[in-house]
Amino acid sequence: MKKVLIPTKLDSIARELLEANGNYKVVQDAKTPLLDQARAHSDAHALIVRSEKVDAAVMDAMPSLRVIVRAGAGYNTIDTRHAREKGIDVMNTPGANANAVAEEAIAMVLADARHIVAADSSTRSGKWEKNLYMGRELAGKTVGIVGLGNIGRLVAKRLSGFECTLLGYDPVISAERAGDMGVELADLATVFSKSDIITLHVPATGDTKGLVGEKLLSLVKKGATIVNCARCEVVDETALRKAKAAKGLRYLNDVYPKDEEGPKSVADVADLMLPHLGANTVEANWNAAKRAAEELIDLDEKGITSFVVNRDIPEGLSENYCQLANTLARLARCLVGREASLKMIETSFYGSLEKYADWLVVPIVAGIWDDFGRSADPRAAAAYLKEMGIEYVNRKTDPKKGYGESITVDITAEIGSNNLRRLSVRGTVAEGNLMVSRINEFNKLYFEPAGPTVFFIYDDRPGVIGTIGHMLAEHSVNIEDMRNPHDTKSNRSLAIMKVNRVVPEDVVTAISREIKAIAAFSVSL
């Protein structure tokens, strides 16, 4: 019998399924501190948690531990690296809470539009302030959904009966897939300028931190509503405070830096605040508990690793090539345009890398989508691409080309209406260092993708490099290395400059405008 420790208020379905299997003894205790339980049950085979912090001390106290299941999507409370070092698989249950969060977002919009909270309080006190609580209807409104992952898609589905116009922003989902949801894909500027209600459903990453800031808030309609059931880091509170005062925005919030008692910095700007109730439903708890038990059984009995988030790479595959695949994908995504809608990903793995094609697609998918973990397995990557509506093709390679151990990543994206853009990058590893050898027609680059880097593609003519260097210098940016190949067929040049610090977006935009660049971006590789 394998002991399973559940130190949390998890639905009893998890315990029931595990015990019915006949191979598990379950201990569930939601009151005793986790570390104390870990010491008391050092022989536990598996641990199923919700938001409990599972650190090195907890794992070290359980030498028999082989599996940790997070009954939910996020696993930032688990030390996944230490778990891997100890041979412990960490799994999660993505999507189990999605419907609960989607319904909460809509509930907040309706409650705010009809003054449910304030009107209830007023009426209970004996008042009759019907004229004070004039509401608004959802029908006929334009709703912008920022992020069309599991939750965003369900928000769209749930809103379909309200006769709304749905706009959606997701930099990677295909237009066809969005259309199937009844959503019109648009860029962020369009979503924020045309929507009466904007609901946020994106993860907290380097790209999304402060996403809803001064620039986007300057575009919103007067009286528009913004709903944040995603992450607090996505919204710049200072910029929101200014925009709310100027435009009378409504802000509905359910996320905070820490889930705990105490004053909240957003209290003065939020019109409706909830204590992070998104996943707090009976059904979501049941779904997560059921999924957690099923995944543990599937892992133990069938070896199914689809939901393991900290897998080792297969024996014989160097971590350098995993990092190369990830970096090439990130670079290709930036070059094709973050706003572009992806349609196809094509890969070529040369030399001995060909036999690891299934594994190498994982870091490629993770390089394009911030919310896909690099530690997932190939089946999870394939399922993710299918869900996003992206075609994936791994091409048969020709060893006669003499590319050695190298990787090519091609991305096809839709820019505007029926306008396709294709971007191809190739790279290899030389003396332990990652090297990008080709970007589209620009060959033999051999630059190391590491640190802050700026890219400019422009019509070749004298003086452009001087202009770029001068404008960077004006902002105290020093060029540390540079590649500047020229393509005679297109008469275009590519400037790749490794610099001493990240170049601000407004500086890149100014340089791009000055040199009339075809493409320009800054990235830290």
Q: What pLDDT is attached to residue 381?
A: 87
pLDDT tens column, 156-209: 999 999 999 999 998 778 788 888 899 999 999 999 999 999 999 988 877 788
What mean pLDDT value characterizes the chain? 91
Q: What pLDDT is attached to residue 418?
A: 65
* 21-25, 256-260, 369-373, 448-452: least confidently modelled range: 369-373
Classify domain 319-524 at the CATH topology level. Alpha-Beta Plaits (3.30.70)
CATH architecture of 2-96+282-302: 3-Layer(aba) Sandwich (3.40)
- Cα angle 242, 115, 277 (rounded to 5 degrees) comes to 80
CB atoms within 10 A of CB 284: 22
Confidence of residue 72 (pLDDT cuts 50, 70, 90): confident
Report the distance separating Cα 270 and Cα 438, nearest Å.
49
Q: Which residue has the higher pLDDT, 225 or 402?
A: 225
Q: What pLDDT is attached to residue 432?
A: 84
Q: What pLDDT is attached to residue 510?
A: 94
- Cβ neighbours of residue 71 under 8 Å, at least 6 residues apart? 8, 10, 14, 48, 49, 50, 93, 96, 285, 288, 289, 291, 292
Sketch the domain layout of the chain as residue ranges: 2-96+282-302, 98-273, 319-524
Confidence of residue 312 (pLDDT cuts 50, 70, 90): low
Q: Is pLDDT of 59 > 70?
A: yes
* 28-37, 197-206, 467-476: least confidently modelled range: 197-206
- Cα angle 522, 524, 525 (rounded to 5 degrees) comes to 120
Q: One fold for both 2-96+282-302 and 319-524?
A: no
| Selection from 219-228, 323-332, 442-451 with the highest mean pLDDT | 219-228
Q: Which residue has the higher pLDDT, 338 or 255?
A: 255
pLDDT tens column, 142-161: 999 999 988 999 999 999 99
DSSP state of 487: E
CA–CA distances in Å: residue 430 to residues 41, 84, 317, 410, 496 = 48, 28, 15, 21, 19
Report the distance separating Cα 376 and Cα 385, nearest Å.
13
pTM: 0.72
Q: What pLDDT is attached to residue 413?
A: 87
Q: What pLDDT is attached to residue 223?
A: 96
Average pLDDT over residues 385-405: 86
Average pLDDT over residues 25-29: 96
Classify domain 98-273 at the CATH topology level. Rossmann fold (3.40.50)
Q: What pLDDT is attached to residue 334?
A: 85
Average pLDDT over residues 283-297: 95
Report the distance separating Cα 213 and Cα 215, nearest Å.
6
